[in-house]
């Protein structure tokens, strides 16, 4: 596609070039990437772009190639705009970081794998007609996904706080607290309470 003008925008140079930013999904240090798009001044998306010319004295018409900088994660490939990154960091300041370094990696991975095995056996019980106080749908809907998520990050050496460090209670622990059954005394419940970080 041909274009008549080029507009390179540089927003927040200090924020982008000097400060360090981390991937919200995998906590890797983000790098910068150059992004471009050709937008026509009469197209519906034109309102999201600034067509004023570099000196600010006029407007550009026709097809304009916009070039700007975004963040990109070298590990998982996630790409984040500067304004979205600012929103993410504002949110983190409010709720606390989502990741912390995990020191006891092997122990935690083993414990989470044991928890997943206990979940399997509770599910087996329920399917073969033996009552599980945990309930099949709760196990499949949030206890198992939550533990799998923690295991995924534990293997990377990270403690994952889904809602931020300030609200670190696990959904599974909340469920135990709320249940009328005594889930704390089950093998699964005891194992979950051994996860000290949450
Ligand atoms: Zn990432």
Cα of 77 vs centre of ligand 1, distance in Å, is 6
Looking at residue 90, its pLDDT comes to: 96
Looking at residue 4, its pLDDT comes to: 83
Cα of 187 vs centre of ligand 1, distance in Å, is 35
Confidence of residue 91 (pLDDT cuts 50, 70, 90): very high
Residue 109 shares a structural domain with residue 173: yes
Range of the domain at 179: 99-193
Q: Does residue 43 form part of some domain?
A: yes
Rg of the chain over all Cα atoms, to the nearest angstrom = 24
Mean pLDDT of the 82-87 span:
97
Residue 88 shares a structural domain with residue 109: no
Show contacts of 163-170: CB within 8 Å, 24+ apart.
163/95, 164/91, 164/92, 164/94, 164/95, 164/96, 164/97, 164/98, 165/95, 165/96, 165/97, 165/98, 165/100, 166/95, 166/96, 167/95, 167/96, 168/96, 168/197, 168/198, 169/198, 170/146, 170/195, 170/198
Residue 106 shares a structural domain with residue 54: no
Q: Does residue 198 form part of some domain?
A: no
Cα of 38 vs centre of ligand 1, distance in Å, is 27
Choose one of 60, 95, 130: the last residue of a domain: 95
Q: Which of 26-30, 53-57, 68-72 has the lowest mean pLDDT?
A: 53-57
Cα of 72 vs centre of ligand 1, distance in Å, is 8
Cα of 84 vs centre of ligand 1, distance in Å, is 15
Confidence of residue 1 (pLDDT cuts 50, 70, 90): low
171 burial (CB, 10 Å; 0-12 / 13-18 / 19+) is: middle
Cα of 39 vs centre of ligand 1, distance in Å, is 29
Q: Kindly report the average pLDDT of the chain as a whole number.
A: 93
Residue 105 shares a structural domain with residue 186: yes
Cα of 166 vs centre of ligand 1, distance in Å, is 22
Residue 81 shares a structural domain with residue 157: no
Mean pLDDT of the 59-64 span:
91
Q: Does residue 167 form part of some domain?
A: yes
Residue 85 shares a structural domain with residue 32: yes
Cα of 78 vs centre of ligand 1, distance in Å, is 6
Q: Supply the pTM of this predicted model.
A: 0.80
Cα of 88 vs centre of ligand 1, distance in Å, is 14
Cα of 151 vs centre of ligand 1, distance in Å, is 16
Confidence of residue 196 (pLDDT cuts 50, 70, 90): confident
Cα of 194 vs centre of ligand 1, distance in Å, is 28
Cα of 182 vs centre of ligand 1, distance in Å, is 39
Number of domains in the chain: 2
Cα of 29 vs centre of ligand 1, distance in Å, is 8
Residue 126 shares a structural domain with residue 62: no
Choose one of 68, 95, 122: the last residue of a domain: 95
Mean pLDDT of the 131-135 span:
92
pLDDT digits (tens, 9 = 90+) for 9-35: 888 989 999 999 999 999 999 999 999
In this predicted structure, the answer to whether residue 57 has a pLDDT above a threshold of 80 is no
Q: Which of 167, 189, 162 is nearest to 178 (CA)?
A: 189
Choose one of 49, 80, 95: the last residue of a domain: 95
Q: Does residue 108 form part of some domain?
A: yes
Mean pLDDT of the 24-52 span:
94
* Cβ partners under 8 Å of residue 40, min gap 6: 46, 62, 63, 64
Cα of 73 vs centre of ligand 1, distance in Å, is 5
The vertex-42 CA angle with 37 and 46, nearest 5°, equals 45
Residue 29 shares a structural domain with residue 69: yes
């Amino acid at each position: 596609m041909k274009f008549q003008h080029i507009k390179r925008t540089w927003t927040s140079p200090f924020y982008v070039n000097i400060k360090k930013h981390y991937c919200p999904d995998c906590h890797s240090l983000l790098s910068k990437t150059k992004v471009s798009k050709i937008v026509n001044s009469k197209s519906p998306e034109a309102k999201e772009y600034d067509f004023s010319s570099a000196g600010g004295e006029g407007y550009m018409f026709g097809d304009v190639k916009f070039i700007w900088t975004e963040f990109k994660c070298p590990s998982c490939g996630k790409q984040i705009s500067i304004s979205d990154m600012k929103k993410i960091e504002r949110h983190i300041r409010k709720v606390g970081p989502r990741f912390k370094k995990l020191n006891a990696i092997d122990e935690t991975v083993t414990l989470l794998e044991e928890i997943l095995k206990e979940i399997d056996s509770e599910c087996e019980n329920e399917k073969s007609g033996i009552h599980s106080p945990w309930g099949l749908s709760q196990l499949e809907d949030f206890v198992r996904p939550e533990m799998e998520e923690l295991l995924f990050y534990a293997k990377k050496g990270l403690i994952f706080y889904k809602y931020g460090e300030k609200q670190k209670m696990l959904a599974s622990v909340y469920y135990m607290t709320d249940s009328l059954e005594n889930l704390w005394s089950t093998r699964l419940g005891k194992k979950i309470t051994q996860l000290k970080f949450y």
